[in-house]
Amino acid sequence: MEQVIYEYSSKGKKGASLPAKPVSEDTVKNYIPETLLRQTDLNLPEVSEPEVVRHFTNLSTMNHHVDKGFYPLGSCTMKYNPKINDKIAGLPGFANIHPLQPESSVQGALEMMYDLEKMLCALTGMHAATLQPAAGSHGELTGVMIIKKYHEAKGEKRKYILIPDSAHGTNPSSAYSANFETLALKSNEKGCIDINDLREKMTRDVAGLMITNPNTLGLFEEEVEQIVDIVHQHDGIVYMDGANLNALLGITCPGDLGFDITHINLHKTFSTPHGGGGPGSGPITVVKKLEKYLPEPRVIKSNNSFKLSSDFPDSIGKVIGLYGNFGVMVRAYVYVTMLGIRGLAEVSRNAILNANYLRVRLADKFAIPYNRACMHEFVASGDNHRELGIKTLDIAKRLLDFGLHAPTVYFPLIVREAIMVEPTETESKQTLDKFIEAMEQIDREAHENPDILHDAPHTTPVRRLDELKANKDLNICWVK
């Protein structure tokens, strides 16, 4: 186990050389109120530079990340991220600018944002976009606020948002945050929206439908055009959660399917390292009739220059303090520009191929409730292992011993003991085969030696935790 950095500390060690007094005490007092000045020394560890580097290097090797191994986290699209994206995002002209600089000094950044919006519109078949939302859920909230504004502008106060029972958990919370109530739509025997249930619940009290396509079972909504038509008959807005857009790039567009709004997870589909709460970016694109409600300021082009304009009286207003997570935008711009439309289509085709390869190979050992051609991910189940005393959690923990991150488990909720697998397009057949071999070994162990699963993981720096206790009895080490 790696010790905390304070345990390396001893008086007199130095890891950096700084001026003894960079500014005088009088200068500090002139600019900072005395009530905000520290009265005691800051308790920082005294360590050498090699100790700092080795400490954090050792910590980094304890975490599983996409640069270290396979990360098939369903619905999260944990693909490998090209390092050229980071290099370009780190260029001084991007990394060292400030959002409050004069527009004349950041023309390149504004042009990049303007062009990225156009690219996202082309890829989604929509008319206009905003880059402001800082996450997928933030994009959802922005989209639902636009739905609300659309109906209010027509003098209507609609009450409900329809959400399929297989939806992402953020969908109902986003709707609720915009003061809507939610109505759940049932799934049919094929794992898609039950059309009859939609017809019954879609009334003039419903503002719109939030739908993920492909859905959280990794299945394309085959009746999507009929679904959209039913909602539009009642002047509802159809919102597409774009968390699974990695399956559609260059193949089809939400706009072509009839959707009115879609959000895009730049940090998933367009290749920014993410996890642990960020960084993220969740732009939305909209059809023409909703453009005037987009957040402001917006980047506009005028006389061959670019500026931020707030001249949009029908806008829902700002949804973030400044303009969004700029570094994520740069990475997405590089990714799209390098691949082009043909390359992006290959991304989706390879993601679909990888998912179906795993689905077919695992079907003999693990239950797959909706075992038919999937898109970029599929949902297996550990339900047939429960009679052996093995839970999905045991399977997930055991995978860590093979140097593999576990898939998403226990989601979507409509599948018992769910195991949601998304291999992404960046993994080779050799890596997929290694995952298959590990899952087959786990299946053998479930029959022959179940205790090895109950006690897993065995090789990780931290063994299995009591998740319930960890959540209810959080113990944080605070160093004064």
Instruction: Return residue ranges of the chain for CATH 3.90.1150.10.
Output: 343-471
- Residue 480 confidence (pLDDT): 43
Neighbours of 91 (CB within 10 A): 11
Give ∠ CA 190-218-425 in degrees, rounded to 5: 150
Please give the helix or strand (H or E) that residue 90 lies within, else none. none
Q: Distance (Å, rounded) from C-alpha 333 to C-alpha 270?
A: 8
In sequence order, which residues have a C-beta less than 8 Å from that of residue 365 and are 6 or more positions away? 439, 440, 443
Report residue 408: phi and psi, to 5°. -65, 135
Please give the helix or strand (H or E) that residue 12 lies within, else none. none
First to last CA, the chain: 23
Report residue 226: phi and psi, to 5°. -70, -40
Q: Distance (Å, rounded) from C-alpha 144 to C-alpha 130?
A: 14
Q: Distance (Å, rounded) from C-alpha 271 to C-alpha 267?
A: 5
Instruction: For residue 300, give the amino acid letter.
Output: I
- What Rg value do the Cα atoms of the chain yield, rounded? 25
pLDDT digits (tens, 9 = 90+) for 447-471: 999 999 999 999 998 888 887 887 7
Q: Are 396 and 64 in contact (CB under 8 A)?
A: no
Q: Distance (Å, rounded) from C-alpha 280 to C-alpha 277?
A: 8
Q: Distance (Å, rounded) from C-alpha 141 to C-alpha 178?
A: 7
Portion of the chain with pLDDT greater than 70, in percent = 98
Which residue, 333, 435, 408, 420, is CA-closest to 376? 420
How far is CA 401 from each of CA 380, 419, 422, rounded to the nearest angstrom?
Answer: 20, 17, 19
Neighbours of 183 (CB within 10 A): 19
DSSP per-residue string spanning 317-386: --SSSSS--HHHHHHHHHHHHHHHHHHHHHHHHHHHHHHHHHHHHHTTTSB-TT-S--SS-EEEE-GGGG
Q: Tell me which CATH code domain 85-339 carries.
A: 3.40.640.10
Please list the pLDDT of the chain residue by residue as tens digits (480 residues). Answer: 788 999 999 998 888 877 777 778 788 888 888 888 888 888 889 999 999 999 999 988 888 888 889 999 999 999 998 999 999 999 999 999 998 999 999 999 999 999 999 999 999 999 999 999 999 999 999 999 999 999 999 999 999 999 999 888 899 999 999 999 999 999 999 999 999 999 999 999 999 999 999 999 999 999 999 999 999 999 999 999 999 999 999 999 999 999 999 999 999 999 888 876 678 999 999 999 999 999 999 999 999 999 999 999 999 999 998 889 999 999 999 999 999 999 999 999 999 999 999 999 999 999 999 999 999 999 999 999 999 999 999 999 999 999 999 999 999 999 999 999 999 999 999 999 999 999 999 999 999 999 999 999 999 988 888 878 877 887 665 544
- Residue 476 confidence (pLDDT): 63
- Residue 277 confidence (pLDDT): 66
Q: Distance (Å, rounded) from C-alpha 342 to C-alpha 370?
A: 30
Place of tokens 């005028």: 302
Instruction: Return residue ranges of the chain for CATH 3.40.640.10.
Output: 85-339
> Domain 343-471, what fold?
Aspartate Aminotransferase, domain 1 (3.90.1150)
Place of tokens 């090797």: 61
Judged on CB neighbours under 10 Å (0-12, 13-18, 19+), 336 is: buried
Give ∠ CA 239-273-142 in degrees, rounded to 5: 25
Instruction: Give the SS3 label for residue 184.
Output: strand
Q: Are 337 and 138 in contact (CB under 8 A)?
A: no
Q: Are 416 and 381 in contact (CB under 8 A)?
A: yes
Place of tokens 């670019």: 306
